[in-house]
């Protein structure tokens, strides 16, 4: 599928199945997959529809979605080696979405032989579309992005959960926005210098990772393993330059 076709697909499904549910969810429309981990009818319906449309366009491709993996974790097994795969996060930031907060997004990544080649982040309420293509850079609403210029003396980062010892670190840490589809655009446009996560789910991070690396940044685990499908670890750290990655890594996790 052409990049523009995929972009249109994401926007159309979001307008048809996600936005009508925003601020209109009933008690029966929200459930817990596990304690504290919410899913809504919008997540489920949008993932099913996106998977159907992607399968229709690419019948031989592997299609992996967040909700599908919850039902069948084994569906992740072939992702690192699949010849062609799509990875869907239908509503990234479900807790925000369920509470009527605008900080949520639709995320999609395309992989070839375990390597992310294209990534999309669509923010339906902000009407912002970020696209990355391997070797082709990153755009926001069609306009090319350039690496952000570092202006802070003390690096500023965001984490969803506190990092032990962050209060005494030589970097500044704030809480993130509860959606990787919001966090990564803030990183690549310079609002923060680094991000740290405990979870490493591919639907959360593959598209954002491509955007970071296309702009010259680095994304790796706390042990230094570059992020890709199948990589696991205790912490995931991304920063807009390798030097910033090293600085944040030493400040938060030790040399």
More confident: 18 or 38: 18
Query: 150: pLDDT confidence band, cut at 50, 70 and 90?
Result: confident
Asked if 91 and 40 count as a contact pair (C-beta separation under 8 A), the reply is: yes
Asked if 172 and 91 count as a contact pair (C-beta separation under 8 A), the reply is: no
Span 151-202, pLDDT tens digits: 899 999 999 988 888 888 899 999 999 999 999 999 999 999 999 999 899 9
Span 62-74, pLDDT tens digits: 999 988 888 788 8
Q: How many whole angstroms separate alpha carbon 133 and alpha carbon 145?
A: 12
Backbone angles phi, psi at 60, to 5 degrees: -90, -5
Domains present along the chain, CATH in parentheses: 3-144 (3.30.540.10), 156-253 (3.40.190.80)
Rounded to a whole number, what is the largest CA-CA distance in the chain?
52
Pairing mode of beta strands 156-159, 172-175: parallel
Has residue 231 got a pLDDT over 60?
yes
Span 237-255, pLDDT tens digits: 999 999 999 999 999 988 5
> Any alpha helices (H) in the chain, and if so which ranges?
3-13, 41-57, 66-71, 94-98, 180-188, 202-214, 242-253
Q: What is the pLDDT of residue 255?
A: 57
């Amino acid at each position: 599928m052409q990049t523009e076709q995929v972009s249109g697909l994401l926007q159309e499904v979001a307008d048809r199945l996600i936005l009508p549910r925003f601020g209109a969810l009933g008690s029966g429309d929200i459930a817990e997959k596990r304690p504290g981990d919410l899913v809504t009818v919008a997540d489920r319906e949008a993932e099913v529809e996106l998977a159907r449309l992607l399968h229709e366009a690419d019948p031989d491709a592997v299609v992996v979605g967040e909700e599908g993996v919850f039902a069948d974790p084994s569906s992740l097994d072939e992702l690192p080696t699949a010849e062609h795969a799509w990875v869907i996060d239908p509503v990234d930031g479900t807790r925000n979405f369920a509470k009527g907060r605008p900080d949520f997004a639709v995320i999609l990544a395309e992989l070839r032989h375990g390597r992310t080649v294209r990534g999309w982040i669509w923010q339906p309420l902000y009407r912002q579309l970020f696209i990355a293509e391997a070797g082709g850079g990153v755009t926001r609403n069609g306009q090319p992005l350039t690496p952000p210029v570092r202006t802070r003396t003390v690096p500023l980062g965001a984490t969803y959960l506190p990092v032990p010892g962050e209060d005494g670190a030589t970097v500044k840490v704030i809480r993130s926005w509860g959606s990787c589809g919001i966090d990564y655009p803030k990183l690549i446009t310079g609002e923060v210098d680094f991000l740290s996560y405990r979870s490493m789910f591919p639907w959360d991070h593959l598209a954002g990772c491509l955007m970071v690396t296309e702009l010259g940044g680095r994304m790796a685990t706390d042990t230094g393993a570059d992020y890709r499908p199948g990589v696991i670890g205790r912490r995931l750290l991304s920063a807009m330059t390798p030097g910033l990655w090293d600085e944040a890594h030493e400040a938060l996790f030790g040399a």
